[in-house]
Structure 1
């Protein structure tokens, strides 16, 4: 007998950050320092007793909108066969068609979609990467959380040293300071500390115009960076393409885009060497797999943004050697930890995503909805 979905629980969880976070968007006055992250968790149960958990998130604004939209469309899943994930994604998208297929609408679908994939892998008794077909059991990882602009360079150096000692394989620091000279001095200091051979990346968070990006990126070439991330507005595919053609250093972007179609434009214009999709932002695992197929055809490096608990599985299933971004911010939300060793995140043998919600996550829940037969 075919199984069916009987119960969906949605939880809006606010994760407080230990320190207010600032990048170039804050220094240019476009955003305020980030003090918390809003998460949408979806827990799906079936008549046969199978369960799956998924999540999406929003930084600064958007969390309540994701929760509200998910609560409206989740009843569409009740009574459905949880195996039919692609069909269910389309059904959920049509349920909210009037608000589009990007942004908060598809980000709400993402939490449900991830939960369905987690459920499917658990039912198979496999880690999600193995269900998808893994190319590797460990993925290169780099650390971002210790390289923000609100920290003095001495602290960033200390953070980088601690991350390397903990087994991290690369370090990314933020740039985009109002004075490019400050950026260059900070990058030089970190590069000298790490040595010439250790992977180092920088991220400007979209804060340069085209002339500034050209000038600063050219100056950054001497540091042997793995990539320069978001030197321009995320939607300026033509500008990124021109920059990529003019530099030896790889250009990376994609984290702020919220659909496969938007990423397709980056790929079409050869705008990036490193594609950085975020599964919760583009609609979940179903959409990520569509995008990964496009990226593979262009032989792009894949470096998914944030949410390593999801992305380690998706990166492990990508044919070309990828990177995964390591953040320890989400640790309080889950009972499990990913193992870091020799510069890589290692897949666990636990089925599904391999995560369960912690009691702390339950305590940080600010809204909850249950949909059932």
Structure 2
């Protein structure tokens, strides 16, 4: 009764003040030596050289891809340290990511930039009513990645070394030359050039309405590459279970490194059945947007190669949780897209990963990654090791600054 009386007489003002102290940035203590002073966010639209099509376009579910919207976050601390992070959306969603980032960016001001997990949780819960996956966490991802970039720069280390690298280079494969919008002759020429450029694998798109066309394209690329270069195929979720089994069996003669996204991304049980049925490894995960969704793939043993995408799942902080769970399950890993970031994360994964080579993003950054002997080399530059190019600044359609100097 006494406790109840005490609560009844607690003023609304005192309760509000207590809540404010709890949710605001921590008081500066001896362990905190810096604070976030300003945040700049930018909506930047990267134009592609030509329209790109995969199986989702052929089935009428999407239009050809002509541009990629990016959300960039640039964080500066009181001590003058800077970190850069980004998220992206293929086709629709970029405006929404930028809008959500605008709502939560000010919540970073005054925070200790080293407290990344706590800041991630704070930002996610700020928009929890619209979900803890999807667009909401993809906006958070840009800030989270910027904070990890900043932390690695503070340490004077490449991000891979800050996380604890297992290797200084990662096997890499190219995807950008194998889309269905290219003729078989173009795909074969691109595959040969990829091998000549020191990239260790080639992935081509499949999922034609006429599966015989797929088999002819795969056969042509396999003949051009021989046995020295790995070959993967990607159906972009457009097969049903029956087609996936039939195509999986037909493709076994080509000794593929994996079959990617044969089924809907959320069909964990179907992928598990395929993984048991086929000799060729199964890969998926790129379209999932949370740790919980990846847990389903791991729990069902749905994949041989798990393919998380750090910007899509909410940044490096949740990606590391997926890495730990996948490592415990002894899965291989091949992170999706954004090689500039995923090279570092793959280098820190315990079970011999692949990283996806896409040259699309190169115009956004001043730096370039090196490939040699079939592998991508972890750069020695501190942090992620990238800075925004003048071209990227020119493709920026909106930006906003929060904090000092705003």
Would you call these one fold, judging by a TM-score over 0.5?
yes
Contact 2:195 2:229 in 1 (8 A): no
Structure number with bigger Rg? 2
Listed one character per residue, the Cα deviations across residues 20-58 of structure 1 (whole Å, up to 9, x for unaligned) are 000000001110000000000000000000000001100
SS in 2 for 1:55: strand
In structure 1, the residue matched to 2:323 is 292
- Pick from 151, 154, 176 the counterpart of residue 145 of structure 1: 176
- The CA deviation at 1:117 is 0.2
State how 1:175-186 maps to structure 2 within 5 Å.
Answer: 175-186=206-217
2:81 and 2:166 mapped to 1: Cα distance? 27
In structure 2, the residue matched to 1:222 is 253
In structure 1, the residue matched to 2:96 is 65
2:57 and 2:296 mapped to 1: Cα distance? 28
- Pick from 279, 286, 295 the counterpart of residue 255 of structure 1: 286
> Are 1:201 and 2:242 matched, yes or no?
no
In structure 2, the residue matched to 1:89 is 120
1:163 and 1:194 mapped to 2: Cα distance? 10
> Are 1:79 and 2:122 matched, yes or no?
no
SS in 2 for 1:202: strand
State how 1:89-168 maps to structure 2 within 5 Å.
Answer: 89-168=120-199
In structure 2, the residue matched to 1:309 is 340
2:212 and 2:227 mapped to 1: Cα distance? 20
1:59 and 1:39 mapped to 2: Cα distance? 9
1:239 and 1:277 mapped to 2: Cα distance? 18
> Are 1:48 and 2:84 matched, yes or no?
no
How many positions carry a matched residue from both structures?
Answer: 373
2:125 and 2:56 mapped to 1: Cα distance? 34
- After the TM superposition, list the runs of 4 or more consecutive aligned residues in structure 1 that deviate by more than 6 angstroms: none
SS in 2 for 1:53: strand
TM-score, structure 2 length as denominator?
A: 0.91
Contact 1:196 1:224 in 2 (8 A): no
SS in 2 for 1:44: strand
In structure 2, the residue matched to 1:341 is 372
SS in 2 for 1:139: strand
- The CA deviation at 1:2 is 1.8
Contact 2:149 2:384 in 1 (8 A): yes
Contact 1:43 1:54 in 2 (8 A): yes
State how 1:317-332 maps to structure 2 within 5 Å.
Answer: 317-332=348-363
2:351 and 2:298 mapped to 1: Cα distance? 16
Listed one character per residue, the Cα deviations across residues 121-149 of structure 1 (whole Å, up to 9, x for unaligned) are 00000000000000100000000000000
- The CA deviation at 1:14 is 0.2
In structure 2, the residue matched to 1:33 is 64
- The CA deviation at 1:198 is 2.0
- The CA deviation at 1:197 is 3.8
> Are 1:169 and 2:224 matched, yes or no?
no
> Are 1:352 and 2:380 matched, yes or no?
no
1:54 and 1:145 mapped to 2: Cα distance? 23
> Are 1:191 and 2:191 matched, yes or no?
no
TM-score, structure 1 length as denominator?
A: 0.99
- The CA deviation at 1:206 is 0.3
State how 1:204-283 maps to structure 2 within 5 Å.
Answer: 204-283=235-314
